[in-house]
């Protein structure tokens, strides 16, 4: 699609830019054998899901030869299909992928009353002189234990019941689910370490309509930033209300700090560097329990219709798995939440047995 011409280009690492040379994206079609579509949709088995993803997640390499977008369409004997989309996180975030899928699917509905138009103006508003923004992120070369995923289902009734026990009643569904899961993760951490360690909650926040001036929700780039709470003294008796309050305060404080990144009278790079500095300082404390939530409830993936009808199921898999990380998405009906919790394999059984988690583990 010409509307998304940068995705057909290649990332030039030394210059921190996309060369729109029209080298193209990767599109693969395959036939599923020995497995039914119902075996895949809604599964907790990430090994099964791996078969419907593109074989390679292409990182931005030194010579700029890798594609930025890869798609795999897997067709099943029943006539159904799964479409998996991978985009380099170097240039796109989840809101950008949502816009891409919305525009792509709308091609099959030319008479649709509301047409989505993507924009690519953010890089001009926030020029990136060098891709690290002044922060050196070092990844450990040590091999980590295997990470597994568990899907928790919070339906409409469950969310209403949980919300009735919390204040104020304006708390979002994502905050409620995050509070329940974080409480169980704090107890899991206590069981592992035999003591109450401080914990910090990290959460990526879409800043598009929160900046001053606000940006279009269809602006394509990376405008999602990680917010973090202040360190919280953990306790076996910590309650969901306390965690929800902490998450809300952290998000509001970070949004206020980042709101001016695109203002004309402000150097947005300085704000980002300060924010990343706080993040790195928190991460450097090895005695802190890090809990990560990616709340994707606002994105309308279930509205995508490629001509076969709307999806019966969707999920988001992080490009780099880490323990204590949870991805939240809406269910098909739009009134519940699916939470994908990622933990080290040895930790998952104890987590599933937590009294607050058992009702939602299927």
Residues 6 or more apart in contact with residue 13 via CB below 8 angstroms: 60, 61, 62, 64, 131
Ordered DSSP codes for 23-57? ---EEEEEE--S--HHHHTT---HHHHGGGS-S--
Beta pairing partners, 224: 206
- Whole-angstrom distance, CA of residue 122 vs CA of residue 133: 16
Tokens linked to 348: 């998952």
Q: Give the CA-trace dihedral at 208, 211, 216, 222, to 10 degrees.
A: -40
User: How big is the chain by its Cα radius of gyration, in Å?
Assistant: 21
Cis-peptide, bond into residue 168, ω within 30° of zero: yes
Which residues are the active-site residues?
89, 305
Residue 99 host element (H or E)? helix 94-106
């Amino acid at each position: 699609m010409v509307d998304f011409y940068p995705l057909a280009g290649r990332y030039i690492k030394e210059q921190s830019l996309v060369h729109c040379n029209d080298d193209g994206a990767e599109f693969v079609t395959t036939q599923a054998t020995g497995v039914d579509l119902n075996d895949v949709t809604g599964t907790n088995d990430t090994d099964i899901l791996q078969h419907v993803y593109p074989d390679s997640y292409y990182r931005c390499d030194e010579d700029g030869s890798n594609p930025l977008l890869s798609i795999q369409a897997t067709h099943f004997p029943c006539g159904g299909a799964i479409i998996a989309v991978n985009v380099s996180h170097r240039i796109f975030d989840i809101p950008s992928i949502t816009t891409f899928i919305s525009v792509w699917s709308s091609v099959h509905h030319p008479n649709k009353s509301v047409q989505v138009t993507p924009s690519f103006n953010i890089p001009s508003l926030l020029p990136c002189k060098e891709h690290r923004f002044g922060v050196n992120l070092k990844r450990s070369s040590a091999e980590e234990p295997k990470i597994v995923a568990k899907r928790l289902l919070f339906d409409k009734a469950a969310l209403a019941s949980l919300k009735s026990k919390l204040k104020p009643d304006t708390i979002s569904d994502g905050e409620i689910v995050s509070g329940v899961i974080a409480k169980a993760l704090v107890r899991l951490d206590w069981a592992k370490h035999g003591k109450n360690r401080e914990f910090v909650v990290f959460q990526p926040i879409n800043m598009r309509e929160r900046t001053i001036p606000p940006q279009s929700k269809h602006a394509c780039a990376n405008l999602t930033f990680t917010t973090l709470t202040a360190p919280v003294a953990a306790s076996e008796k910590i309650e969901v209300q306390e965690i929800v309050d902490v998450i809300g305060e952290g998000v509001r404080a970070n949004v206020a700090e980042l709101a001016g990144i695109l203002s004309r009278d402000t150097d947005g790079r300085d704000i980002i560097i300060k924010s990343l500095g706080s993040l790195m300082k928190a991460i450097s404390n090895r005695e802190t329990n890090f809990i990560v939530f990616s709340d994707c409830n606002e994105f309308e993936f279930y509205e995508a219709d490629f001509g076969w009808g709307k999806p019966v199921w969707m999920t988001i898999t992080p490009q780099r798995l880490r323990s204590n990380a949870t991805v939240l998405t809406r269910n098909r009906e739009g009134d519940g939440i699916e939470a994908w919790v990622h933990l080290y394999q040895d930790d998952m059984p104890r987590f599933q047995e937590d009294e607050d988690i058992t009702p939602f583990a299927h």
